[in-house]
Amino acid sequence: MPVPSTPLRKLGFLTIGLFDEADPRAGHESTLELIVLGERLGFDSAWVRHRHLQYGISSPIAVLAAASQRTSRIELGTAVIPLGWENPLRLAEDLATVDVLSGGRLNPGVSVGPPMHYNRVRGSLYPDTADAEEFGYPRVRRLLDLVRGEPASDFEGVEGVEVYSRRVQPHSPGLAGRMWYGAGSLRSARWAGEQGMNLLTSSVVKAEESTDFAEIQLAQIRTFRAHHPDGDRARVSQGLVVIPTDTATADQRARYEEYARQRAPRTASPQGPARMMFAPDLVGPAEVIAERLSAHAAFREVTEVAFALPFTFAPADYVQILTDMASRLGPLLGWHPAG
């Protein structure tokens, strides 16, 4: 197939980082090894999900700090950190610290909303302030201001041998330009654009003006750019579930196809009271996936992707999928390996 008229400029991947409760180190090591492999294959970015009280990465910043010391080039992102679990000041310190350690490669993605199962965790998370906590956009603005170097204190100076700063330390000047918002609705896409953030759009969106996934995602991307200071140059990364099978074994192909088959019913219509739409998983030879992506209205609007890896596969499966993405699918989309 011919290379698309707008070549893919940045190729990334996203992983949840599952682990066994009886041996959590092995799972975390596997995630780090996957990021190292991604850099070796020429991927531009590696992203980790955030899972609290589950058997996935609960502390992505800590994991990415470790990854920053095992890699030298690949960008490291979070997709996404739910800010309802975070103190913006403390998170700003952690983000800046890891960005400094990585040499300016951190891409923090965040989202808003109450923590999942809030009524069950509020006593542990916010025992004294549960009813007073604000989980909307102001929480993101607090984080953005602190990352940008706005004052966190009204005091700076010396007390004895201690030296104090008004702003978060360390301060990483380029980090603010690499802050992403995970949007699923037109309202959140518009808000992210107005804040000058970058946009993460995934395989889950809210059905508002259509029930066609690609049309919904396209509308969100265009709304975001219409309200962003950079207009059409504003950065958007798309994150569909993509599983190339070119070098997969017969057993792997069968499992991948069954995985997609079981998840297919939820893609047919909006799900739940929030009317969430799920994108179909793309499984098959790289050439077939490339053709389907080239026909995807929202994909044609972006030059960056962070393809999501399925949650429950084995490490060997991820190695095969990433290798096929980098060596076969990416070039069909006009992408060239970094480094």
Mean pLDDT in residue range 219-227: 98
Q: What are phi and psi of 157, to 5 degrees?
A: 145, -160
| CATH number of the domain bearing residue 179 | 3.20.20.30
Residue 338 included in any domain: no
In a domain, residue 299? The reply is yes
Over 167-219, what HEC string results? CCCCCCCCHHHHCEEECCCHHHHHHHHHCCCEEEEECEEECCCCCCHHHHHHH
Query: What's the number of domains the chain is made of?
Result: 1
Instruction: Give the pLDDT confidence of 287-328 residue by residue, as tens digits.
Output: 999 999 999 999 999 999 999 999 899 999 999 999 999 999
Which pLDDT tens digit goes with each residue over 124-148?
Answer: 999 999 999 999 999 999 999 999 9
- Residue 97 makes CB contacts below 8 A (sequence gap 6+) with 65, 170
Residue 4 confidence (pLDDT): 57
Q: Is residue 318 part of a domain?
A: yes
Antiparallel, parallel or unpaired: β 276-278 and 75-82: unpaired
Helical pair 137-148 and 88-102, crossing angle rounded to 10 deg: 50
Quote the CA–CA distance of 142 and 87 in Å, as a whole number: 10
- Residue 2 in any domain: the answer is no
- pLDDT of 2 > 60? The answer is no
267 contact partners, CB below 8 Å, separation of at least 6 = 213, 277, 278, 279, 280
Helix axes 250-263, 315-324, angle to 10 degrees: 90
In a domain, 337, yes or no: no
> Is 109 within 8 Å of 75 (Cβ atoms)?
no
Secondary structure of residue 140 in the 3-state scheme:
helix
Find where tokens 């953005």 sit. 144
pLDDT for the residue 131: 96
Residue 239 has pLDDT above 60, yes or no: yes
Does residue 193 lie in a domain region?
yes
Tell me which H or E stretch contains 107. Answer: strand 106-111
Task: Report the SS3 class of residue 291.
Answer: helix
* Cα separation, 74 vs 77, whole angstroms: 10
| pLDDT single digits (tens) 49-102 | 999 999 999 999 999 999 999 999 999 999 999 999 999 999 999 999 999 999
Query: How far apart are alpha carbons 297 and 295 in whole angstroms?
Result: 6
Give the pLDDT confidence of 114-123 residue by residue, as tens digits. 999 999 999 9
Residue 23 reports pLDDT greater than 80: yes
Q: Is residue 5 part of a domain?
A: no
How much of the chain exceeds pLDDT 90, in percent?
Answer: 97
Question: Length of the chain in residues, anyone?
Answer: 339
> Would the CA dihedral through 6, 322, 312, 236 be positive or negative?
negative
Which residue range is the domain that position 182 belongs to? 10-332
What is the structure's pLDDT at 3? 54
Q: Per-residue pLDDT averaged across 173-196, rounded?
A: 97
Q: Are strands 236-239 and 180-182 parallel, antiparallel or unpaired?
A: unpaired
Residue 180 has pLDDT above 90, yes or no: yes
Q: What is the average pLDDT across 159-171?
A: 97
Q: Examine the pLDDT at 5 and tell me if it is beyond 80.
A: no
Percentage of the residues of the chain whose pLDDT score is greater than 70: 99
pLDDT for residue 64: 98
Cα(164)–Cα(100) distance, integer angstroms = 19
Place of tokens 């990352």: 147
Coil, helix or strand at residue 77: strand
Among residues 153, 182, 154, the alpha carbon closest in space to that of 93 is found at 153
Distance in angstroms (rounded) separating the CA atoms of residues 219 and 31: 34
Contacts of 257 (CB under 8 A, 6+ apart): 283
pLDDT reported for residue 339: 79
